[in-house]
Amino acid sequence: MRLTTKGRFAVTAMLDIALYEADKPVTLAGISERQSISLSYLEQLFSRLRKQGLVSSVRGPGGGYRIARAHQEISVSDIITAVDEQIDATQCGGNENCHDEGRCMTHELWASLNSKILDYLSGVSLADMVEMQRKKGAGTVVFAPRKCGSEATIAA
Amino acid sequence: MRLTTKGRFAVTAMLDIALYEADKPVTLAGISERQSISLSYLEQLFSRLRKQGLVSSVRGPGGGYRIARAHQEISVSDIITAVDEQIDATQCGGNENCHDEGRCMTHELWASLNSKILDYLSGVSLADMVEMQRKKGAGTVVFAPRKCGSEATIAA
DNA sequence: TAATAATTGACTAAAACAGTAGGTTATTAT
DNA sequence: ATAATAACCTACTGTTTTAGTCAATTATTA
């Protein structure tokens, strides 16, 4: 997997829906405004999130997006892998430089790091994040995702 | 911190020196050949590694690079942070969007992930990697770092 | 039927990654 | 002394990814 601001945007947007979704689905325009993420960029992200079955869409007036599964059933790693297509599924490329025996020297190190990251992110569900957010913002919740947090770009 | 192939190259190169350094320092030309990393690219990486005090250099014929500290005293995270200058030291930019209270919604998530990654990588020393490598390649050790392992790009 | 809002596709500026090219300086061996 | 070695330094390049824009189409509801 791979962790960039793209993945962060997606997680933030999903959390936004989880918090605001009630009777009505949540519009991208609303998410865009609250989270300061470009509408067109959200559209691209949600195209993927929908194809991966993480959200369902309703067209027309009063339409928008809903979380498609139970909040406990969606992990942060689900969201990230949905928007950040991992190109490098073939571990060592399949051929070229990495012999089946021998591998590259640091292979085990990165493999092990990757599994640690994945373990952590798949252990955090949308439900966890909602709860965390509810606890935190007792009064008015301030949303300001942009440029927040340190730059992260993990590829596992 | 941020994890890319740049960091992987640096770790691979440092491990190469640790394995080959004996009476003589190790030349970049040698590393370049063994690890299939471009010489000029290595020069760039080693400029940083030297400035961070991870390696020491000897000029002229018979010169090259040595590991500057005890192998146990150098962690993988040391190497990576040396070559991948983290721009985003100011956590939330210092101003703009991220209020001191409120922060961005997913702030804690990434902060926590980052510390997990850092914990792991700072727990693995060059000495650990040397030992691992010696155990593995009992006979002939095959080096083939290029494109090996899954693409990784973590920014913490 | 008009407004809403998802859906799609192509296109763009900026940054980072990985690498190249060409030169300068210090040290050693001849 | 001088030639070879190898670190050191600066600037430049092509490709990919990131983040975003623009413009159009389709489905739904008031």
Question: Has residue B156 got a pLDDT over 90?
Answer: no
Which range, of A91-95, B25-29, B136-140, averages the lowest pLDDT? A91-95
pLDDT for the residue numbered B103: 57
Let me know: does A8 contact A80? Beta carbons within 8 Å.
no
Q: What is the pLDDT of residues A52-110, one digit of tens each?
A: 899 999 999 999 999 999 999 999 999 998 887 664 433 343 333 443 334 567 888 88
Question: Has residue A145 got a pLDDT over 80?
Answer: no
State the nucleotide closest to B61 in CA–C1' terms: D5
How many Å apart are CA A148 and CA B104, to the nearest integer?
6
Average pLDDT of the residues in B12-40: 91
How many Å apart are CA A150 and CA B131, to the nearest integer?
33
pLDDT for the residue numbered B133: 86
On whether any CB of chain B is under 8 Å from the CB of A119, the answer is: no
Which range, of A78-82, B11-15, B109-113, B130-134, averages the lowest pLDDT? B109-113
Mutate one of B37, B101, B105 to test the A interface: name it (highest A CB count within 10 A). B105
pLDDT for the residue numbered A6: 85
Taking contacts as CB-CB distances below 8 angstroms, the residues of chain A near B145 are 97, 104-106
Burial B117-144 (b: 16+ CB within 10 A, else e): bbebbeebbbeebbebbeeebeeeebbb
Average pLDDT of the residues in B120-126: 93
pLDDT for the residue numbered A85: 64
pLDDT for the residue numbered B142: 36
On whether any CB of chain A is under 8 Å from the CB of B51, the answer is: no
* Helical H segments across B21-125, by residue range: 28-35, 39-51, 76-83, 107-122
Q: Mean pLDDT, chain A, as a whole number?
A: 77
Of residues B64 and B93, the one with the higher pLDDT is B64
Beta bridge partners of B3: B154
